[in-house]
Amino acid sequence: MLRSVIICPDRDLGERLEGELLSSRRAGVVRRLMSYPTGVDLVRFLRAAGPEVIFLSLETPSLALEIYQQIQTYAPGTQVVAINRTSEANMLLGAMRAGMREFLSPPFEYASLAGALSRVEEIIARNPPKIDATDLVYSFLPAKAGVGATTIAVNTALAMSSLPESEVLLMDLDLNSGLVGFMLLLESQFSILDAAENAGEMDENLWPKIVSRSGNLDVLPTGKLTPGFRIETTQIRYLLDFARRNYSALCVDLSGMMEKYSVEVMHESKKIFLVSTPELPSLHLAREKLRCLRAQDLDSKVAVILNRTQKSQQITTEEMEKLFGCPIYMNFPNDYAGVNKALTAGKAVSPSSALGQRCRHLAESMLARKGDAPERRKGFLDLLLNRKPELSAT
């Protein structure tokens, strides 16, 4: 079904078209605007709605043609179907010269509507709409509860949001025991559940009411515990699509329970950070998670993060890498005092601390800024836990 919007100041005409589109079962109407958006408002609307086809009223030809040109600039490939109460020759000629190839007028008979939709579908299949959307989606997956994956996710997301020209969203998808809101002292009445329930109708007006803010970081916490509630994969897909069009990077904190919606997020992720600690139970479960991820064809995206490392470790990095069958991407030092202090204040750990610096380093590598690429590993000796940690080559 085509994802469509209607821009039509004529209320009656817009309602009639929407009714016929819904009856056809060929197009779903996600938004209907009763005024012509221009400039910044139009760009925000396109990013929020993400339409494949726009039904644009020619009621005011000059404004309609201006909007058409902006659509071609900011969302190339988005199909535009002109609509009007009458089919005046001059109006049609102007629309065709601008580039619009489809036109509909009342009574919107099924044959003409179906024909136009079929032609639009064929064009979209060859040339899908290209609305700017980030591919920087990162999942944080704990090997087991209590390994500090949420701590790393929160502090890395905060570090990312402090970098220039970064719009970052942190989503807490641990529906059973999400701690992001607690760690950041958020008291919003809305949560990731509200965002999921409204994902199909999400727009630029509803989103600011649902999302919370911590410094420069936008956050979707889990909110209150809701037993039995689960997010559908279609809701996650809509939510991710919306967020990718409106942020430069997304961080997603997962529960580790491998729910269907979590697997969907990981398939959409650029990288999956599997977080473990050096203790044997955590290492064992990390290996089991790796096996599960390989079964889902996700192993190429996995980067193992070792948290709470200390100078003296019984198990060497070489032994852990052999256990995992892959290199350790980054080590994070143990800093209980710094983490507790940050929790009390609802802020990030000190940027000058060893843990804060590692979060900053990871954040820079995730944004792939020039000069911020991960350092190349020099060999196994450099990965020993009693040495200064290095990032692996990617």
* pLDDT tens, position by position, 108-147: 999 999 999 999 999 999 999 888 899 999 999 999 999 9
Average pLDDT for 91-105: 90
Confidence at residue 377, expressed as pLDDT on a 0 to 100 scale: 36
Which residues, listed in sequence order, are joined to residue 8 by a DSSP beta bridge?
none
At 19, which helix (H) or strand (E)?
helix 11-24
Q: Which residue has the higher pLDDT, 315 or 307?
A: 307
DSSP 118: H
* pLDDT reading at 58 higher than 90: yes
The predicted model scores a pTM of 0.80
Q: Which residue has the higher pLDDT, 3 or 380?
A: 3
CATH code: domain of residue 33: 3.40.50.2300
The token pair at 106 is 């009342």
Task: Report which residue type is found at 318.
Answer: E
Which residues, listed in sequence order, are joined to residue 141 by a DSSP beta bridge?
274
Domain boundary among 84, 104, 126: 126
Q: Supply the range of the domain harboring residue 360.
A: 137-383
- Same domain, yes or no: 211 and 320: yes
Residue 102 in domain: yes
- Same domain, yes or no: 311 and 191: yes
Half-sphere exposure of 189 (CA within 13 A, CB side): 1
Confidence at residue 132, expressed as pLDDT on a 0 to 100 scale: 86
CATH code: domain of residue 373: 3.40.50.300
- Whole-number Å distance between alpha carbons of 76 and 141: 36
Average pLDDT for 45-61: 93
The region of weakest confidence among 82-96, 221-235, 260-274 is 221-235
